[in-house]
Structure 1
Amino acid sequence: MTINEIQEQIIEDFSYYEDWMEKYEHIISLGKELPLIEEQYKTEENLIKGCQSRVWLHADYKDGIVYFTADSDAIITKGLVGLMISVLSGQSPKDIANADIYFIDKIGLKSHLSPTRSNGLLAMLKQMKMYAVALNAVHPS
């Protein structure tokens, strides 16, 4: 699936929930399905700067595709990074770097997060795109 197809699926999934308590429960459940980062990657370098909670993000590159793993010490934040990974993991560095991430606004997430969580979400996206840009420079497609 392309990044945009995945975003459309997420928008559709969130449309089934009527209120934000249900949407938050869905986000938390996504965090429980998150591909967990290996302990060896829970390092200071892999901590996302700009997140209030501790969020570790690691990128693996294999056969032209980027695979992200992550973890967080906060359940909502873990779900948010899980959402980002579901959209961007398994894509090429070029596609990740050029992706227009619009699902955050479409599902109303930005307006329902506290300013610190919203900043953290943007920091996650920025970090994932930075990994992709760096990998694309080393392995141009």
Structure 2
Amino acid sequence: MSLAWQARVLALSFLFSAGSSWASESVQDTNTDLVRQAFANWQQGKGTVFDLLAPDAKWTVAGTSPVSGVYTSKAELARAVRPITARLATPIVPTVQSIIAENDVVVVLWRGTATALDHKPYNNTYMWHMTLKDGQIIQVTALLDTYVLDELMRRVTPAQ
């Protein structure tokens, strides 16, 4: 094989490997932007991150709180969230502390604040490990202070 031919093969190999890396970074950046915008919209009262959920998304709430468990659809998760929101006088407002992404995974550390029906604050810290595909969240593991959530659930009678 001639030296010129070897140089071409080497250059093409480099282009293909760089292109694959660029594509991965592009998906990562797109996913990060989608999640960042969804949190910004939520903070402004224009929607929530749940708007990005695929209909069959798998959502795991870690811990042993009344809502801990595995939910296998957006509708099932909505039913699990209802008892929480029924105890709040105001919606949870998120404040993002950090976002880290790698390939199709975006991890967000955030703080949620609201006022409960008994006029006491509800403040919790969350970390959501989200996997995205085609612009939708398909899998989440949600970590939070389940003690704070359980205390809200026990203390406040839900609105009817």
Is TM more than 0.5 here? no
Higher relative contact order (CA 8 A, sep 6+): 1
What TM-score does the superposition give when structure 1 sets the normalisation length?
0.30
TM-score of the pair, normalised by structure 2: 0.28
